[in-house]
Chain A
Amino acid sequence: MSGKKQNLQRTLRKVIALLVFFILWELLPASGIISKVYFAPPSEVFVTLVRLMISGELWLHTSISLQRAITGFGLAAIIMIPLGFLMGWYKSFEEIADGLVQTLRQTSSLSLFPVFILFLGIGEVSKIAVIFWGAQWPILLNTISGVKSVDPLLIKSARSMGSSAISLFRKVVIPSSLPSIITGLRLSATHSIIVLVAAEMIGAKSGLGYSVINWEYNFMIPEMYAAIVTLAVLGLITNYSLVWLEKTTTKWKEEINIT
């Protein structure tokens, strides 16, 4: 019984700040402290959101944004995880590539967007390329560090039991570096959304980032907030699904609860 009560309390504690936030958001424009023109209350945003959903307009932009983000992020994962394994495993390879990687990753993705547009045009490819550019670094670097931090004792132990190189890789290196890779994926996913929005604001005629700026230009403020809220929800879903992935793949890890 007390457990149920505790659970309830915990849930309440988790949502209370959110509730206060939404109440303030509703009340501030209504009371006239902040102009309603600039700051549409959540009730109005919600109605607009539903209307945009029914008309299909919101889904159109969301699906285009998702396509771009998932393609860029997916390509980064497909290419960078294997590359990270190679660079983590073969020291000489990493030594050669490290200087280049460190320099390139400091080059802001958005500063390169004009370059991508020059080479790849204003279409989809340049936007996917800029997302890929931003998403690749956390994946690459976390995979490398995951592979490098495999406990040498585990390698010894596996070899003593007759593991071949392939089996060593499959049964020791991959599971051991998995938590680090997933952390990289999480960072990358968050980064992908940031780059996506910026790229769509700069050079696109569709997508959620484009919608935010376009609706602002046209002074459709509730619509603008609806697009912002959609982006926030996308970010939340992405993060929680990757946290879930992390938990299910690393259930063998000691849970650390700092309370």
Chain B
Amino acid sequence: MIKVKAEDITKVFHSKNGNTGTNGCVEALGGINLEIRTGEFLAIVGPSGCGKSTFLEILGGLIKPSCGSIYIDGKAVSGPNHDRGIVFQGYALFPWRNVTENIAYGLEEKGVPKKTRNEICRKYISLVGLSGFENHYPYQLSGGMKQRVAIARALAYDPDILLMDEPFAALDAQTRDTLQGEVLRIWEETRKTVLFVTHNIEEAVFLADRIAVMSVRPGIIKRIIDIPLSRPRFEEFRTSQDFIKLRQEVGSIVREEAKSATNS
């Protein structure tokens, strides 16, 4: 089953030079074709500036592609909707709302009545391990805890698809490892379709079923690598031979792609 289909997605950014009056164009995405299967965990890796975040925001409906279409369950979509949830690198929590109120935001917008909202919030707060912090404001939380809130908030209104844009890039190594494990556990429990953008190859191999490798200028998907490793994966998995071997393989493929992109 194909959940999400991206067809020939291109994105050109225009930049007007005020001094010379000339119009510049930057082709951020040069025709992306990608299919994400229902319930799979797909990671996109690529060097910074390859347009992977732009692609994620197009999938999320936050920006429009210059050309091409996005299909979800076979239907073309434009604009954001409750069938997709986004987790941003910068957490994007509302500082004036406490943990519960942040998680309730999407539910409010969906029109869920208050009583049900509170029940759902409680459930997701416990799912991400934040019980006892219901009334804390974002400034009172650590980076890892903020990202837990952001994940709970994106899950709370029950989207089919979770789009994660380098969610752990700003966290320290230990917190990152812990949260990767948490995301896998939550994914096993909820079986959402996940698109996870990262530049960290180890993270991609640890989490994903498949890895899409992107190249820079134009941003296109160069290769898709299957990660045929068993699940569920726990912390010990990081030291297994299979994992280490595959991580090296993927690493060299990504480096090759990066090299050929700079040579051409």
Contact = CB atoms under 8 A, between A and B. Distances in A.
A108 B198 CA distance: 56
A162 B109 contact: yes
B157 interface: yes
Contact of B85 (A153, A156, A160, A164): A160
Nearest to B163: A160
Interface in A145-203: 151, 153-154, 156-164, 167, 171-172, 175-176, 178
B109 A156 contact: no
A254 interface: yes
B81 A252 contact: no
Contacts of B86: 156-157, 160
A253 interface: yes
Contact of B62 (A160, A172, A252): A160
Interface in B50-66: 57, 60-62
Contacts of A154: 92, 94
Interface string B78-118: 00111011101010101111100000011011100000000
Interface string A222-259: 00000000000000000000000000001111100000
A145 B192 CA distance: 40
Interface residues of B, number: 28
B105 A175 contact: no
Contact of A160 (B84, B94, B108): B84
A8 to B, nearest CB: 30
Contacts, number: 64
A110 B81 CA distance: 54
Nearest to A159: B80
A161 B106 contact: yes
A5 B157 CA distance: 51
Interface of A: 151, 153-154, 156-164, 167, 171-172, 175-176, 178, 250-254
Given A160-B60, A162-B109, 4 more contacts: A160-B86, A161-B157, A252-B97, A252-B98
Contacts of B95: 252-253
Contacts of A157: 86, 88, 92, 94
B137 interface: yes
Q: What are the 7 A-B residue pairs with the smallest beta carbon separation, nearest first?
A: A157-B92, A161-B106, A254-B139, A160-B86, A252-B96, A175-B96, A162-B109
Select the residue from A162, A163, A175, A250 with max chain B CB neighbours within 10 A: A162
Nearest to B105: A161
B54 to A, nearest CB: 12
Given A160-B60, A162-B82, A175 B94 contact: yes
B137 A252 contact: yes
A251 B140 CA distance: 12
A162 B92 contact: no
Select the residue from B90, B94, B110 with max chain A CB neighbours within 10 A: B94
Given A156-B62, A156-B88, A252-B139, A161 B109 contact: yes
Contacts of B98: 252
A160 B109 contact: no
Nearest to A163: B109
